[in-house]
Structure formats: C-alpha cells, structure tokens
C-alpha cells in the first residue's frame, strides 16, 4: 500500500490550482469540489502514479465518492493545464502519469527490474535532441527521454 505523498508547500498547491482554474476558465469549464481535491492529490504524488493510485489516495483521505469515471474524465484537463504528463512504460498495465507542473521534463533511467526510476540531466542529450529534431524536421515534445535497463541494485 502506497501512502507516501510528495512534500509540497501550500503555495505550490495554490499555484497549481490557479493554473488549473485558468485552463478551465478559458474553456468554460468549472472547478468542482472533486476536481479541486483531485488536483491537490495529484500535485502531491511522489513519483509516477496511475488512476487507481489517485482514487485510493482520495478515498483514504476521506474525500467521499471519488469515482474512476470522474478521474478518468479529468485527466486530459490536467494534462492540458500542464500539471501532469503521461509516461509510456514497459509492462505497465495501466497508464502512468507524473507531475509536470513547475518541473522540467527530465530524462529518466528506468529500472525494468524494480521499477525505480532515476532522473538525470545531460547537456549533451539536450544538444542531441535539438540536432535530431532539426535533421528530421521534427518538433519534439517535452516528453522525457527514457532509457531502460537494470539499476545498480538489481544487477
């Protein structure tokens, strides 16, 4: 049972909610209680998470009647608002997400054995991205690059 939450300041939550409100406003959508709770929950996720994680966390936190349908329907909004992004990972049977708000889309090392992921920065890699994008006429997304392998602990 996952219980950890990322430790974030109240300010961070408010900035996130504010960004979300903006996104909603510009689409004539509304900030329901469910969405408010969802955004707070999402922004506190420690690492990668899936829909089920969110529903469990919200239920555990005493938010009444958090339904899968509601969360599923809200995810595209959170993505459009730049609060989260999707991951595309080997063997995951549900869609995984990670927080994107005020976080650089860092490349990841992902251990295919234990699932632990390491973020890393590499100037060279960023150079390469732009070089490649140019060479092939690509407009690259901000998605982190993922390298899969086995981490030190799982060798």
Partner DNA sequence: ATTACTGCAAAATATTTGCACGTTG
Partner DNA sequence: CAACGTGCAAATATTTTGCAGTAAT
Q: Taking CB under 7 A as the rule, does residue 1 contact DNA?
A: no
Q: In the bound complex, what is the minimum distance in angstroms from residue 149's beta carbon to DNA?
A: 22
Number of residues binding to its own copies, judged by CB under 8 A: 36
Q: Are 143 and 108 in contact (CB under 8 A)?
A: no
Residues written for the chain:
155
Q: Which one of its own copies, DNA, none interacts with residue 19, CB within 5 to 8 A by kind?
A: none
Stretch that binds its own copies, among 20-28, 54-62, 68-76, 143-151 (CB under 8 A): 143-151
Q: Are 122 and 107 in contact (CB under 8 A)?
A: yes
Q: Of residues 46-85, which lie at the interface with its own copies (CB under 8 A)?
A: none
Stretch that binds its own copies, among 36-44, 52-60, 67-75, 124-132 (CB under 8 A): 124-132
Cα–Cα nearest to 17, from 37, 47, 46, 45: 37
Query: What is the distance between the alpha carbons of residues 151 and 121, in angstroms, rounded to a whole number?
Result: 17
Cα–Cα nearest to 41, from 54, 23, 31, 30: 54
Question: Residues interacting with its own copies, by CB under 8 A?
Answer: 86, 88-92, 109, 111-112, 118, 120, 122, 124-125, 128-129, 131-133, 135-141, 143, 145-152, 155
């Amino acid at each position: 049972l996952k219980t950890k939450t990322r430790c974030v300041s109240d300010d961070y939550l408010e900035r996130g909610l504010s960004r979300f409100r903006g996104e909603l406003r510009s689409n004539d959508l509304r900030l329901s209680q469910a969405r408010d709770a969802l955004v707070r929950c999402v922004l506190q996720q420690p690492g990668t998470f899936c829909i089920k994680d969110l529903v469990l966390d919200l239920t555990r936190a005493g938010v009444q009647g958090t339904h899968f349908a509601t969360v599923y329907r809200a995810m595209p909004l959170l993505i459009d608002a730049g609060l989260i992004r999707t991951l595309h990972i080997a063997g995951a049977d549900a869609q995984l997400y990670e927080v994107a708000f005020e976080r650089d889309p860092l490349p990841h090392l992902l251990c295919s054995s234990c699932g632990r992921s390491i973020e890393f920065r590499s100037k060279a890699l960023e150079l390469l991205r732009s070089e490649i994008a140019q060479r092939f006429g690509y407009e690259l997304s901000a998605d982190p690059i993922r390298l899969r392998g086995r981490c030190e602990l799982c060798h």
